[in-house]
Amino acid sequence: MSLEKILDKKSLDTLKEINNKNVEKVIEQFVSLCKPEKVTVLSDNKEDVEYIRNKSIENKEETKLALEGHTVHFDGPKDQARDKANTKILLPKGTEISKKINTVAREEGLKEVLDIMNGCMKGKELFVRFFCLGPLDSKFSIAALQLTDSTYVCHSEDILYRQGFSQFKKLKDPKNFFYFVHSAGEMEGSVTKNVDKRRIYVDLQENRVLTVNNQYAGNSVGLKKLALRLAIKKASQENWLTEHMFVMGIHPKGKDRVTYFTGAFPSACGKTSTAMMSGQTIIGDDIAYIRINEAGIAHAVNIEQGIFGIIRDVNKKNDPIIQKVLTTPREIIFSNVLIKDGKPFWLGMGTETPKDGVNFLGEWTEGKKGKDRKEIPLAHKNARYTIRISDLENADPHADDPKGVPVSGFIYGGRNSDTSVPVAESLSWAHGVFLGVILESETTAATLGAEGKLVHNPMANIDFLTVPLSTYINSHLRFGDHLDKPIKIFSTNYFLKEDGKYLNGMLDKKIWALWMEGRVHGNYAAIETPIGLIPKYEDLEALFKENNEEDYSKQAYNKQFSVRLDKYLDKMNRIEKIFKEEKDIPQVFWDHFEQQKKRLQEARKEHGKPVVQPEEFEK
Largest CA distance in the chain: 81
Contact 66, 341 (CB under 8 A): yes
- Give the DSSP H/E element, type plus range, for residue 161: none
Grouping H, G, I as helix, E, B as strand and the rest as coil, residue 432 is helix
Nearest to 418 by CA among 449, 444, 448, 442: 442
CA distance linking residue 120 with residue 88, whole number of Å: 20
259 burial via Cβ count (<10 Å: 0-12, 13-18, 19+):
buried
CA distance linking residue 438 with residue 578, whole number of Å: 10
Task: Determine the residue type at 56.
Answer: S
Strands 70-73 and 87-91: unpaired
Task: Give residues with Cβ within 8 angstroms of 533, minimum separation 6.
Answer: 424, 425, 426, 427, 519, 526, 527
Our answer to whether residue 269 is catalytic in this structure is yes
CA distance linking residue 179 with residue 210, whole number of Å: 9
Pure H helices in 35-117: 46-58, 106-117
CA 141 to each of CA 166, 264, 283: distance values in angstroms, whole numbers, following the listed order = 12, 21, 16
Per annotation, catalytic residue among 34, 120, 154, 269: 269
Task: Determine the residue type at 561.
Answer: F
CA distance linking residue 437 with residue 441, whole number of Å: 12
- For residue 181, which phi and psi values (nearest 5 degrees)? -115, 120
CA distance linking residue 339 with residue 323, whole number of Å: 17
Task: Determine the residue type at 572.
Answer: M
Contact 538, 593 (CB under 8 A): no
Contact 472, 458 (CB under 8 A): yes
Other residues' Cβ atoms within 10 Å of the Cβ of residue 477:
15
Grouping H, G, I as helix, E, B as strand and the rest as coil, residue 209 is strand
Q: For 34-192, list the strands marked E by DSSP.
A: 38-41, 63-64, 70-73, 87-91, 103-105, 125-133, 142-148, 162-163, 177-183, 187-188, 191-192
Within its chain, how far is the Cα of 358 from the centroid? 28
First-to-last alpha carbon distance for the chain, in angstroms, is 78
Half-sphere exposure of 82 (CA within 13 A, CB side): 21
CA distance linking residue 361 with residue 79, whole number of Å: 11
Contact 228, 244 (CB under 8 A): yes
Task: Give residues with Cβ within 8 angstroms of 612, minimum separation 6.
Answer: 562, 563, 565, 603
Other residues' Cβ atoms within 10 Å of the Cβ of residue 341:
8
| DSSP per-residue string spanning 526-563 | -EEETTEEE--HHHHHHHIIIII--PPPHHHHHHHH-E
Within its chain, how far is the Cα of 127 from the centroid? 25
Task: Determine the residue type at 102.
Answer: N
Catalytically annotated residues: 269
